Amino acid sequence: MQPPTDTFDPYDQAGTTAWLDAFAALEEDGPHGHLDFVEAGVHEFNFVSGHSSEWVSTLKEKVNEVLPNVDANSFVEVDKAEFQQGLVYHFRTSIAYTSEMMNEKAANNWASSFVNSMLGGKFFRGDGGVTNATFEAIYVAIVGTRLAYVLVLDED
């Protein structure tokens, strides 16, 4: 399954909303497989000093029920290739039971769409233990004053 557009502009509300709505619909079974316990969002944060705590506090506020222990030290910066590879893995494989979710083509399409939408930005992945879940993965991309995230939780 292709994203509704190849990329979204994190500063264009309508395009971003269309992408996020289509991403949420991947939970339904289809020729793409399905995507369980994964959510995505795009939010604006106040850029003052450029320190990561600025975007982390906004992320924590937006998904506060599952990020009680997150802080600036909860993330490590990674390159675009590692970030995209991690997304593909977590789109294809259930985090708790390692069962297949999305097929390879759909996972690659959605991961590359997300990454290409945030080109020129910085990419981060969680460094473990940032949610209340037994297993989790979180990916955050920052472009200007926009943060985009994909949060993967286990079934518990």
Q: Could you read off the pLDDT of 87-114 as tens digits, one per residue?
A: 999 999 887 677 788 999 999 999 999 9
Helix, coil or strand: residue 152: strand
Contact (CB, 8 A) for 1 and 31: yes
Residue where the block lists tokens 């943060």 = 147
Length of the chain: 156
pTM score: 0.89
DSSP string, 37-65: SEEEEEEE---SS--HHHHHHHHHHHTTT
CATH classification number, 13-153, choose in 1.10.357, 1.20.120, 1.10.3470, 3.40.1000 = 3.40.1000
pLDDT band, very low/low/confident/very high, at 123 (cuts 50, 70, 90): very high
